[in-house]
Amino acid sequence: MSTALAITILAGISTLAMLSFLVRENSIYRAFEHIFIGLSAGLGLVVTVRDFLYPKILMPMFGWDIVVFPDGTIKDPGHPLAWMYAIPLAFGLLYYTMYFPRYSWMARLVIGFSFGAGGGLAIKGFFNEILPQVTASFKPLVVFDEGTIAWMSSFNNTVFVFTLLCTMAYFFFTFRRGEALRGIAGSGGRWLMMVCFGAFFGSTVMARMAILVERLQFLLIDWTDALLKVVGYV
Amino acid sequence: MIRSLLRFIDARRLIFILVLVTLSLPLLLRWSVPPVRMTAAELLFNEIEKIPTDVPGKIVYLALDYGPGTKAESGSQAKALIEHLMRRRIKFLVTAQVLDAAPIINSIPDEVAAGLMELYPNEKWEYGIDWVNMGYTAGAGLNIQNVAKAASIPNFFKRDARGNSTAEIPLFNGVTSIESVSALIQITAYVGTLESYLQFFANEKYRPIFLHGCTSIATPQSFIYLDSGQIKGLLEGIAGAAWYGKLLSDKYPDRPVDDSVVINTTLGVAHLLVILLIVAGNFVGIFGTRASKRRTDV
């Protein structure tokens, strides 16, 4: 049996084991669930070391990527400051001091640094992501296209601006809202949000069904085909 | 025996069996109906069509940030987009910021290239010339910001996922900074990954065109970015992938029917079933309650 065939058959058995939960909670499902969690953690570690830590950090740092030809010439001599990767690497390793109560304060340095860097990035990211949306929300209520009113675009923009204002009014808690805000705008905002949640829920059903369809397709076509190959029908 | 079996098949399990049978039939029969027109997918298609192929040193930055769990939606989108890029001979770099994508980004371009070479035996698509895999990169937003700020993208990555030095990869000839990236295509099933690109994949002078593929669950969220113009095209779940496949088939008539159309059809059947079950559930709920109330009154 080829490796690809064995993987396909194993994948089918795993899928069936996970789907067995639909019948009832059972030990096979539990076992495969734990295998899956273990595999995910293992894959994370292997991929991080293989695809990132080793080729992009350790190789240039220790000069393992330097090729020396028999005549002594060097191809790709690397960056002279590549050893400086050791500094963040050592700093990151301080995280593990949390396992030693006497030195656990060092881990807080790493956590504090991560928080600081994360906070700084988040502020920059917020402006880059949200400001274009704020400017894009200033839409004309009446859209003209070559001198005539584009009714559909105008309607879309009106719905957009109305929804935006109503939703903002609903979340207006700074001081007691007046009748106008509490009435049409506030409850309108709630209703419009409900419509939005409905759309989200519909999309969720669609996404979950798509996952099921893909698994069924795998079981009915690829897996069955592999099984038939194993038993010698194909 | 039959009585115990009937006792075992309660309403919940009956629904599971119904879903299983209903979804299996279109898959087994490979039933496909033409997909519904998706204007956001058309925008994406047109943007890819606009990318010039005769400008040396230009690449597309393809970020595939999804795992095997969303293979049906994100996988179909990735295949369709990669096929389009390969058919148009647009060079692309593929990378991921999520771990589970690492095996996927290695295999998908290979599969698409193999399919195309089978279809056109006289043409060739080669790794390192037509595409290159930079693998998984840790650091999310921080890493993306560093790519955007790098004076040389090949120097920043140093090596591809197969261990080759970027200096030796022909695809990178003439490629320098982010200004060499004509478009960013990001396909994701994870919350926050598109946002990382929107926030950090630009420098003071240049921002490439952003194109995006999302799962159905994230469509309402992604539409916000399409509406604001932050992304120029969007593939919405499997429906988007199916329409994109249809656009590709219109342009390249010799293209075989791809799985996305079959999955999309099956999904349509699933939706009909869900609607039917909701109606039936409400019917039973309303009339069942009334009947039991009437019995209690008597």
Cα end-to-end span (Å), chain B: 36
A203 with B220: Cβ contact below 8 A: yes
Which single residue is written with the structure tokens 């990318």?
B51
pLDDT at A180 (0 to 100):
61
Query: Cβ separation of A213 and B27 shorter than 8 Å?
Result: yes
Interface contact flag, A65 B159, Cβ < 8 Å: yes
Q: Which residues of A touch B237 (CB under 8 A)?
A: 203, 206-207, 210
Contact between A220 and B24 using a beta-carbon 8 Å cutoff = yes
Q: How far apart are CA B193 and CA A29, in angstroms?
A: 31
φ, ψ for residue B245, nearest 5 deg: -60, -40
| Residues A223, A231: Cα–Cα separation, whole Å | 12
| Cα of A186 to nearest chain B Cα, Å | 22
Q: Is the CB of A41 inside 8 Å of chain B's CB atoms?
A: no
Greatest CA separation found in chain B? Answer: 88
User: Do B123 and B116 touch, CB atoms closer than 8 A?
Assistant: yes
pLDDT band for position B288 (cuts 50, 70, 90): confident
Residues of B in contact with A221 (CB under 8 A): 27-28
Beta bridge partner(s), residue A148: A145
Mark yes or no for CB contact B224/A43 under 8 Å.
no
Q: Of B65, B195, B95, give the one whose Cα is nearest residue A52.
A: B95
Using CB atoms, pick whichever of B27, B161, B237 lies closest to residue A220: B27
Question: Inter-chain contact B229–A216, Cβ cutoff 8 Å?
Answer: no
Of A60, A206, A220, the CB nearest to B216: A206
Please report which confidence band the pLDDT of residue A178 belongs to, taking 50, 70 and 90 as the band edges. low
Q: Mean of the per-residue pLDDT values for chain B?
A: 89
Residue B243 has pLDDT above 90, yes or no: yes
CA distance A33 to A28: 8
Residue A146 three-state SS: coil
Please, are residues B216 and B237 in contact by the beta-carbon 8 Å criterion? yes
CA distance A151 to A138: 18
Tell how strand B209-214 and strand B233-236 pair up.
parallel
**A44 chain-B contacts, CB cut-off 8 A:** 99
Q: How far apart are CA A218 and CA A7, in angstroms?
A: 12
Long-range contacts of B15-19, Cβ-Cβ distance < 8 Å, separation of 24 or more: B15/B277, B16/A22, B18/B273, B18/B277, B19/A212, B19/B270, B19/B273
Q: Could you give the C-alpha distances from B210 to A150, B57, B135, B202, B226, in angstroms and in order?
A: 27, 19, 20, 10, 10
Q: What pLDDT was estimated at residue A177?
A: 63
Contact A125 B238 (CB under 8 A): no
Best-predicted range by mean pLDDT among B70-74, B240-244, B259-263, B288-292?
Answer: B240-244
User: Which residues of chain A neighbour B274 with C-beta distances below 8 Å?
Assistant: 205, 209
Could you tell me which of B191, B251, B185 has the C-alpha nearest to residue B48?
B185
Contact B41, B228 (CB under 8 A): no
Tens digits of per-residue pLDDT, B247-269?
A: 999 999 988 877 888 888 998 99
Q: Which residues of B touch A201 (CB under 8 A)?
A: none
Could you tell me which of B55, B118, B48 has the C-alpha nearest to residue B82?
B48
Q: What is the pTM of this model?
A: 0.86
| d(CA B24, nearest CA chain A) in Å | 7
Residues of B in contact with A203 (CB under 8 A): 216-220, 237
* Whether residue A1 has pLDDT greater than 90: no
Contact (Cβ atoms closer than 8 angstroms) between residue B218 and residue B191: yes
The band of A77, judged by pLDDT with boundaries at 50, 70 and 90, is low
> Mapped to the 3 state alphabet, what secondary structure does B160-226 carry?
CCCCCEHHHCHHHCCCCCHHHEEEEEEEECCCCHHHHHHHHCCCCCCCCEEEEEECHHHHHHHHHHH
Contact A207 B70 (CB under 8 A): yes
Interface touch A217/B274, C-beta < 8 Å: no
ipTM above 0.90, yes or no: no
Helix (H, G, I), strand (E, B) or coil at A76: coil
Q: Identify the pLDDT of residue A110.
A: 93
